Every structure is written in structure tokens, then in C-alpha cells.
Structure 1
Amino acid sequence: MGAGQYLPPLFSVAPMMDWTDNHYRTLARLISKHSWLYTEMLAAETIVYQQGNLDRFLAYSPQQHPIVLQIGGSNLDNLAKATELATAYGYDEINFNCGCPSPRVAGHGCFGVRLMLDPKFVGEAMSVIAANTNVPVSVKCRIGVDDHDSYNELCDFIYKVSSLSPTEHFIIHSRKALLNGISPAENRRIPPIKYEYYFALLRDFPNLKFTINGGINCIDEVNLALKEGAHGVMVGRAAYNNPWSVLGHVDSEIYGAPRSGLTRRQVLEQYQIYGDGILGTYGNNRPNVRDVIKPLLGFFYSEPGNGLWKRKADAAFQHCTTIKSFFKETLVAIPDTVLDSPITEAPAGRQDLFANTKGLLPPPYERREQEVAYA
């Protein structure tokens, strides 16, 4: 396919392990036609060692474009082979994970955010990935790791990776990662956000593209970031926990498309067709009804009947064997006014989100050319 066929990634949904699977991406695309969707991180080893079962991990419907595959790993041979195998599936971009602080990732074979401490390797990895695909490549990273959290260290990473590889796009989670003693959830909350680092990167690397990530929770705040000069905005858990309110405004408020008039009932009717068609296709009763319904658990966020619907869902999981029967049993909890109303006005966001950023910008980065070759 190729990224050039689609509108630019002004808005994207973050890759989230155990969350942004095929089911969620199907739901997201039913709501928004233009959002850029990322897969869960797939380890290069998984792709290489599952060559006889790749559809389970890499297949998706054509409607999910534009879609980005995120891969992780620390073995160049496996990264090369995994990219080669994935290229046949026609993803629009390949993204390399240098930002996940999960012990399952960062603590195993130097995956994830630990790689920020080795920019020379990341540059080599990105070169290998780029050599085995015909689509753009990108890196998702934090602004630092543990005590390696100065702006100059972040710039060293960006400069070295972009100098040693064809990488021109970086997704910047504007928090550093703490690798010892706190959980991934705490890593999304405890380290302070430093948006000033992101906006300084725009200043110091005008030939690169940067997407901002972290702490942006609604479309109003996305537009505020874009007005401040962000090349693109990535939203994570807000787009999962409240997909209707967040994704439902992307096409009209971010990309300027006419409002679709889409209702929740129409989305559910299409999702039911998808869900009943995929049940059990992986074998051993997977995916099951609970798997397919999981992305919908925030679909009625803060709406009348939401609590009752969730209680009915818990009961229905015990015996429903089709999505149709699940909806028949549970949707009686949701008023018709909720099911049949199109998306309402976008909620207001925090107007002071970037208020002090310009005054906090660090001094301009001074490139140290000689360090690139010896990083």
C-alpha cells in the first residue's frame, strides 16, 4: 500500500500490548476512517518462529489501512527476517519499539526502552528493518531512561539513530521511563511530562518528523498540540477506554471531513458481523465472545445504562456463544437515545496543557558529529 495513499498521521492510536489487537482495530476503523492505527508490539522472534501461523499474528482486514506494525527485538537477524515476512502483509509503516518499560519487554533481551541507551544498535536495527521493507520506518521512544534523562542525551539518541539509518519519523512519549521499582502503569503516571523536550526537538531537528505522545486525552487537546506545531499526535488509553468520544471526532475535527452521522447502533451492527465471523478461527475456541467484546467495554463510557450493561455483559459471557446473542441479551440496558444518537460535540480539553512550554525550552542541541561513528 504505502503511506502516501492516506492522509498524514495527524492522529494515531498508540500501540498497546494486549489492547490494540485485531478486534480493537476493527472497532476503531468502524468509528474513524482516517486515524492511523498501530498494532500491538510483536516480538521479532514471534514472527520468525511462527512462520507457519503468521496470519494469526499479522493478518488484518484491508479496511484497517492506514496501519502501522510495531515490532520489538534486539537481534538484528531476527529483525531482518521478521520485517521481510511482515512486508508481505502490506503494512503502511514499520515502527520499532524503543519505549516500552514493561518488565516483559525492557527486562528481556534488552527490548523496549532499554534500547535508548544504545543508539548505535538502534541505528543498525533501523537500517536492517528499512532494508527489508518498501514502506517508511519509525521509532517510538521515551524522552529518557532513569538518570539518562537530559535533553542533550535525548538529542544524541535522535541524531545518532537518524544519522545511521533512514529513520525520519520519531514518536516521542514525553515522559522518561524508570526501569526499577515501578510498574508500567506507574511509568505512565509518575515520571513528569516534559512537553518542552518534544517542542525543542521540532526546533533542533527541522528535517525530521515528530509525533507527540503522552497525557493528551481528547480531540480538543489534540488540536491544541497541532496548533502549537506538533507534526502529529498519538493517543493511547483514552482512545481505548472511551473510543466513541475520542475516535468519533477524529475525521471531522482533525481531518476536516463532513460529519458522518454514524450511530453506536450502526457500529455495533457492523461489529457483530465481524465478531461472529471470527469466533473460533484460531482454534481451541479462540477468539471467544469475551475476547471480541473486550474493546467494547468502554463504548458506553459515562452514558446512561453503562453500569447495568457491564453487569449484564459479565453474566452473558458465561453462556453466550455468538456476538448476536450477546448483544440481544445485553443491549436492552442501553437506552435507544444512546444507541441511535450520532456523535455529539467534542468535549472541552485543558487549554493550559502547553502553557509554559515555550518558557521551558532547553538550550539548542549542539551536534557532536564525531560521536556518531563511535556511539
Structure 2
Amino acid sequence: MNSAINNLRGAFFSHSILTCTYEKKSFIIRNRFSHQFKRFHSSMGKHLAHSSTNVNGEDLPQLFSVAPMMDWTDNHYRTLARLISTHAWLYTEMVVAETIVHQKDNLDRFLAFSPIQHPIVLQIGGSNLKNLAKATELANAYSYDEINLNCGCPSGKVAGHGCFGARLMYDPKFVGDAMSAIASNCDVPVSVKCRIGVDDRDSYNELCDFIHTVVSRSPTAHFIIHARKALLSGLSPAENRNVPPLKYEYYFSLLRDFPEIRFTINGGITCISQVKASLREGAHSVMVGRAAYNNPWNTLGQVDSEIYGASRIHFSRRQVLEKYQIYGDSELGKYGPNKPNIRQIVKPLLHLFHSEPGNGLWKRKADTAMRHCTTIESFLEETLDAIPDSVLDSTLPIIPPEEEGVFFDKTLLPPPYKSCQVPGLCVRV
């Protein structure tokens, strides 16, 4: 795929009314990224956020990505995801910089991945410049396609006790310096994942000040924007994903006010029809979180053909499981007894039959089998009779229908950002 996506415009599509049912009519979105990004620092141009990477001779832009999720997007999930979609960009779980530094003699356990997982992004967390730099240097040997800094996690363990994640949005100068340190120690593009604000620092101008400062102090040219603010006290991580209102107008205003920067939209997008609607409105790229984990077949199964325009390949979940079984049995005990164990390797499979006949029985049988099975092969033999052959052998679903509506309210777009609003905060280019 080497053609550029048309910059499609037209009617807005509603986040609230876009459904996730399927019909036969398909609509192919082509790669819209043909422009080159302005070099802010010519001496560090290699770190700019390229719109694509080359995988097996194919140019893959980062149109669709799966969000980094702690305890979810591990090696096992990413392997399953790649068996379903060859084009989606995958993000690791956040790996704390200190873990990498202190486990330098055991790095494979935390950083190694199969080459089939490309394109893949490593997300790092931390608030110590020296450790962030060293961790990046160590991770660079693993040939990730991008290094990302977590500035959006509101978890008490991360933003509270750890003093990083979303709390870093309070200190954009530090984030800029951290990104400079990260970029200086790797050979790939670097990016930041953040919220639109934190606590009462949630105005559009303050978000722009954050972006401006980070860009001014580093070669960062890609931001993943979770379109909700983070509340660092009073809400759980789950509540922080749902209670603060979505403000997509902030995201689309950033496209207007920072045309040299690439922005990925994240938050509240749960199916491919919504991904396509946001791309149609001009979003550079889209990141999907729990929908890609909780319903991988219906979500990831659409990505290659409907987002990237690849030919639809007809394969079944039975075929995916046959390949995953080979992978899983080769991984058992790789790093010592029960490291990983059956339960860890099976965990990503538990959502493969989301909303399908037999799904409930399959999960109950799986819970029992995980307690005594010693191989993935024996686990599947014991449990898959709960799923009808018609489900196991069915091929990928048809795309969601296109429904006209309003994806975001254009009347809510804030005025254009003109300059830094906080004296002493920003360093101007």
C-alpha cells in the first residue's frame, strides 16, 4: 500500500449513533498521509514521527493502533492481535524505566518480542531523566518502531506514588527535556501519550502550552491525545476512562493550530465505523483501547481491509487458534517455572468469541481447564467443544454500516491558539 489516503470530508458522523453491527457493503479508506513533517531540529531529524514504517517491504502508516494497557497488551495479546491484523500498530504495556535499568541482565523478559509484531511501539514510564535515557538506550537494541512516553495514566500507583504518567502534564518543561533525552538515545521516532488536561489545568490554551513547550524542547512530532482530562484524586482509573467528558473539539483544534505535528485521537472510539468517521473528519490516526481487547475478532479483523485497503483475507478463528497454540506452547516456562504459565498465555483468548453462541460455556470450561492443563494444545482440546463449528470456522465479519450524524460539534471548537498563555512556562522556537 503506497497510495496516499484521500483527505475525505463530508457529513459528520455521530459518536453516539454510530453502531457496531455489520453489513455487506464495504468502504475502503486509503492512506491520507503523503505530506512530510517539518523538521524542528535538523540535527535530530531521524526522531521525527514518521507517518509510516516499512514492514516486509510494505509501507504501513500509523492509521490505526491498539492502546498500551497495563496487564493487557503483553506479548501474548500482541501475538494474538497480529494473527488477526497484520497492519494495526501495537503498543506494549507501559514499562517503567527503572525496571529496564535494574533488569538489564534480564531484559528479554520485559522487552523481547517476535518480529511478526512489527509495527510495534514501546511505551516507557518514569520521571527520572537519567533512568529514562538509560532505559531508552537499552531498549534501542530491540528495534522497536517508536518509543512513547506515558504522560496520560491517572492511576494512583503511577501518577500518585510514582509521580509520572498524567502528573507529568504539570511539568511540560520536564516532559520536553525527557523527550530530548529519549530521542538522544534511540534511532526511531519518539512520541507522547497524554490527556487533554489534568485536574483544573484543563483549558484548551493550557493543552496548547503543553504541546508547544514539549515540541520546543525536543524533536517530538507525534502526540497521542486521550480526549478526556485526568483527575488525579477522587476517581479510579476506570472512572477516569468514563467520567470526564470527551472533548473531541480539542483534538481537532490541535490539527488546526499545530499543522507540523501529527496527532492520534484516543478515547471513546469502540468500533471500526467510528474509526472511519474520525479519519473522514481529518484525524491523522486513531487509537482504540479496550474494544480491541474485549472484542478482538470484530475490531482487529476489520483493520487491514477497511482502514488500510488491503485485500480481505478469509481465515477463521480455528486457524488463528492453531497458530496461537504453537506460539503458546513454545512460550510456556520460557523464563523459569510458570514464567509464563497457562493462565497468562490463555488470558487474551477469553474474548475471542465475544457475543458468540457458546461463549459463556467456553469461559467456564476455560476457567476449569486452566487449573490443570499443562499445554495450550490440551487446553484447547478440552474447551473448544463449547464453541459451535459454525463459529470456529466462520470468516471475518462484514464492516459496520455508515450512519450519518455528528461526530463532534464544530461549534465547540475553541479559538485558535496564538501564544503561550502561562508566563515563564513555554520556551518559544
2:173, 2:425 within 8 Å by CA — same for their partners in 1?
A: no
Post-superposition Cα deviations, 1:193-212, rounded to whole Å, max 9, x if no partner, equal 00000000000000100000
Aligned to 1:236: 289
Aligned to 2:333: 280
2:419 to 363, 367, 370: 367
Post-superposition Cα deviations, 1:204-226, rounded to whole Å, max 9, x if no partner, equal 00010000000000011000000
Aligned to 2:389: 336
Q: 1:355 to 1:141 in 2, by over 3 A?
A: closer
> Which structure features the higher share of helix residues?
1
1:139, 1:171 within 8 Å by CA — same for their partners in 2?
A: yes
Post-superposition Cα deviations, 1:103-136, rounded to whole Å, max 9, x if no partner, equal 1110124210000010000000000000000100
Residue 34 (structure 1) aligned with residue 87 (structure 2): yes
Residue 111 (structure 1) aligned with residue 164 (structure 2): yes
Distance 2:127 2:425 in 1: 22
1:13, 1:36 within 8 Å by CA — same for their partners in 2?
A: yes
Aligned to 1:317: 370
Q: 1:353 to 1:115 in 2, by over 3 A?
A: farther
Aligned to 2:116: 63
What is the CA distance between 1:317 and its match in structure 2? 1.1
Q: 1:349 to 1:284 in 2, by over 3 A?
A: farther
Residue 293 (structure 1) aligned with residue 342 (structure 2): no
Distance 2:99 2:308 in 1: 36
Distance 1:68 1:373 in 2: 28
Residue 171 (structure 1) aligned with residue 220 (structure 2): no
Amino acid at match of 2:427: A
Report which stretch shifted further, 365-374 or 82-91: 365-374
Aligned to 2:60: 7
Distance 1:89 1:351 in 2: 44
What is the CA distance between 1:26 and its match in structure 2? 0.2
Residue 256 (structure 1) aligned with residue 305 (structure 2): no
Distance 1:13 1:353 in 2: 24
Residue 191 (structure 1) aligned with residue 191 (structure 2): no
1:224, 1:351 within 8 Å by CA — same for their partners in 2?
A: no
Amino acid at match of 2:223: F
Distance 1:156 1:305 in 2: 51
Instruction: State the TM-score, normalizing by the size of structure 2.
Output: 0.85
What is the CA distance between 1:352 and its match in structure 2? 3.6
2:276, 2:307 within 8 Å by CA — same for their partners in 1?
A: yes
TM alignment of 1:21-100, pairs within 5 A: 21-100=74-153
1:212, 1:234 within 8 Å by CA — same for their partners in 2?
A: yes
Distance 1:329 1:371 in 2: 60
SS at structure 1 position matched to 2:350: helix
2:127, 2:163 within 8 Å by CA — same for their partners in 1?
A: yes
Alignment: residue pair count? 373
Amino acid at match of 2:255: L
Q: 1:139 to 1:350 in 2, by over 3 A?
A: farther
2:149, 2:192 within 8 Å by CA — same for their partners in 1?
A: yes
TM alignment of 1:132-211, pairs within 5 A: 132-211=185-264
2:249, 2:408 within 8 Å by CA — same for their partners in 1?
A: no
SS at structure 2 position matched to 1:249: helix
SS at structure 2 position matched to 1:4: strand
SS at structure 2 position matched to 1:248: helix
Amino acid at match of 1:49: H
2:227, 2:251 within 8 Å by CA — same for their partners in 1?
A: yes
1:141, 1:173 within 8 Å by CA — same for their partners in 2?
A: yes
What is the CA distance between 1:351 and its match in structure 2? 4.9
Unaligned runs of 5+ in 1: none
What is the CA distance between 1:181 and its match in structure 2? 1.1
Post-superposition Cα deviations, 1:27-55, rounded to whole Å, max 9, x if no partner, equal 00000000000000000000000001000
Amino acid at match of 1:176: K
Q: 1:355 to 1:165 in 2, by over 3 A?
A: closer
Amino acid at match of 1:272: Q
TM alignment of 1:116-127, pairs within 5 A: 116-127=169-180
Cα RMSD (Å): 1.5
Distance 1:39 1:122 in 2: 20
What is the CA distance between 1:373 and its match in structure 2? 3.3
SS at structure 2 position matched to 1:372: coil
Distance 2:130 2:309 in 1: 43
Instruction: State the TM-score, normalizing by the size of structure 1.
Output: 0.97
1:84, 1:132 within 8 Å by CA — same for their partners in 2?
A: yes
